[in-house]
Amino acid sequence: MFKNSKLKEFGSIIILSFFLVFTVVPLGGGSLSTCQYPTLNVSSSYEYYNYSSMTQLFHELLLNNSDIMSLSSLGKTHEGRDIWMVKLSDNVDIDEDEPGVLLLGAHHGDEKPSFEVLIFFIKYITDNYFKENTDNDGDGLVNEDIIDGIDNDNDGLVDEDPSEDRVRNILQNTQIFLIPMVNPDGVEYGWRKNHDPNYGPDGTSNYVTSYGVDLNRNYGYRWNLPYILPDQYHLDYLSDDSSWTFRGEQPFSENETRAVKYFVETHNIGISLSYHDYGEWMIFPWMHTSRHTPHESLFRSIGYNMSRINNYELRIYGQYGTQEYIIPRFCGTPGSSENWLYGEHGIIAYTVELCKYRSPSSFTHVFDACWKHVGVNLYVCERSWTLEEEKKLSQISRSNSWIFDLIESFKLGKLFDNGVQ
Ligand SMILES: [Ca+2]
Ligand SMILES: [Ca+2]
Ligand SMILES: [Ca+2]
Ligand SMILES: [Ca+2]
Ligand SMILES: [Zn+2]
């Protein structure tokens, strides 16, 4: 898709538009000849990708980037859309002995920034991997201010000259797997759940009663706790097929969650981010109990470093007041992907709630989220290199029995119905 000169042009426009966005200089018109995005009109509303434009973009990017990018379908949704997996790495067709990073978007179809940041990241990587080191801001210095949320060279601009070498280094030492749209049917309908027909809460009705399962409640970790403490875990919402948090008849009842499950079981993943919106905060397991995982200190360490880059709040205290760990933690989301990724596979997994508002339409807000999370994703890739060692060193012994979860949840009583978005 891109010729070399176009590549450079695109890179400088990205940087240029970054300054424009943050200095809020009004500028009319202008668009990229080779790309739908970004437009330079900062006052314009943001044009998000959708399933078909994303699919088309991936196929276009493949034409010139097949050395570092592969595209595969992990399966089909109920309505026949592909659950796309993009892999970014050198020797991309080989499963190399390199740390694996998994980035997920759009478990919820109405949370558009959650796939947009990943599409942006894929474009950033493919735009920069083949580039010479470049003085992006034309100040005579090269790569003096990488994307880390800090003004490394003290010139009053933040992250204005990222390192092209850094991108190459990361791709040569990491396998990055992205599922930007876990729930393409939900994206198509502009709503939270997927769009499978429900036949009553237990599937026994003769007719369709409602549509969709909340995929981020469908992962099968500690699935039975809500049966034992129905009030604490809001079983009535989880099991009402017309509710927005209907978790399905059984764990992994949905094509989308089964696709993620199969992928994770057949690949070596160390760390994962699942993007949602909104709120500008991040959390990590456990999400069904206030108890700490054996890797609490590692979760905090990586989480704090990410929050330096995106300036989001790392939530380690309960949502209400200063009491640590309202139960279940952060108001409770049994069935979330992070709980299962960590609980079943030991993957250091975070939820990142992007943006101040649900699917903002302003260019400034969306671009800000996309740009910052290039930095977050790059950081997570680099951190994955030492992760296995860190996991071993930081792990403390802590019983993982569900009985303790139960006691803890019972002790603290009914949770607030205000969990992960
Ligand atoms: Ca420079
Ligand atoms: Ca540079
Ligand atoms: Ca700077
Ligand atoms: Ca910087
Ligand atoms: Zn969400």
CATH number at residue 88: 3.40.630.10
Cα torsion 65, 115, 47, 197: sign: positive
Whole-angstrom Cα distance, residue 51 to residue 198? 23
Q: Kindly report the average pLDDT of the chain as a whole number.
A: 85
The residue type at 292: H
The CA 133 to ligand 4 mean position distance, Å, reads 16
Mean pLDDT of 235-264: 95
pLDDT value for 286: 85
420: pLDDT strictly greater than 90 = no
The CA 162 to ligand 3 mean position distance, Å, reads 10
How buried is residue 383: exposed, middle or buried, by Cβ count under 10 Å (0-12/13-18/19+)? buried
Residue 106 lies in a domain: yes
Mean pLDDT of 65-94: 98
Provide the phi-psi class of 117: left if phi over 0, else alpha when psi is between -120 and 50, else beta: alpha
pLDDT value for 409: 65
- Report the b/e string of 143-180 with b at 16+ CB within 10 A: bbbbbbbeeeeeeebbbbbbbbebbbebbebbbbbbbb
Whole-angstrom Cα distance, residue 419 to residue 413? 15
Residue 418 lies in a domain: no
Whole-angstrom Cα distance, residue 7 to residue 13? 10
Bigger pLDDT: 288 or 150? 150
Residue 202 lies in a domain: yes
pLDDT value for 408: 67
> Residue 53's closest CA among 70, 30, 37, 29?
37
Whole-angstrom Cα distance, residue 166 to residue 143? 9
The predicted-structure confidence for 275-327, as pLDDT tens digits, reads as follows: 999 999 999 998 887 778 999 999 999 999 999 999 999 987 644 444 444 44
Bigger pLDDT: 131 or 43? 131
Whole-angstrom Cα distance, residue 421 to residue 412? 22
The CA 19 to ligand 2 mean position distance, Å, reads 15
The CA 356 to ligand 4 mean position distance, Å, reads 23
Judge whether 118 and 177 are in contact, CB under 8 Å. no
The CA 389 to ligand 4 mean position distance, Å, reads 27
Domain hosting residue 404, numbered range: 4-412
Which tokens sit at 115?
């796939």
- Provide the domain count of the chain: 1
User: Which ligand places an atom closest to the C-alpha of 147?
Assistant: 4
Name the least confident of 85-94, 193-202, 210-219, 234-243. 234-243
Mean pLDDT of 209-229: 94
User: Which ligand places an atom closest to the C-alpha of 371?
Assistant: 4
Residue 420 lies in a domain: no
11: pLDDT strictly greater than 50 = no
User: Which ligand places an atom closest to the C-alpha of 166?
Assistant: 2
17: pLDDT strictly greater than 50 = no
The predicted-structure confidence for 343-379, as pLDDT tens digits, reads as follows: 999 999 999 999 998 888 899 999 999 999 999 999 9
Residue 33 lies in a domain: yes
The CA 139 to ligand 1 mean position distance, Å, reads 5
Mean pLDDT of 173-190: 98
143: pLDDT strictly greater than 90 = yes
User: Which ligand places an atom closest to the C-alpha of 132?
Assistant: 2
Bigger pLDDT: 61 or 33? 61
pLDDT value for 173: 98
Q: How many residues does the chain have?
A: 421
Highest mean pLDDT among 26-40, 220-234, 404-418: 220-234
397 falls in which pLDDT band (50, 70, 90)? confident
Residue 417 lies in a domain: no
Residue 159 lies in a domain: yes
Residue 180 lies in a domain: yes
pLDDT value for 332: 60
Judge whether 176 and 98 are in contact, CB under 8 Å. no
The CA 354 to ligand 4 mean position distance, Å, reads 20
The CA 68 to ligand 2 mean position distance, Å, reads 20
User: Which ligand places an atom closest to the C-alpha of 127?
Assistant: 2
The CA 173 to ligand 2 mean position distance, Å, reads 20
Cα 369 to chain centroid distance, Å, stands at 12
How buried is residue 38: exposed, middle or buried, by Cβ count under 10 Å (0-12/13-18/19+)? buried
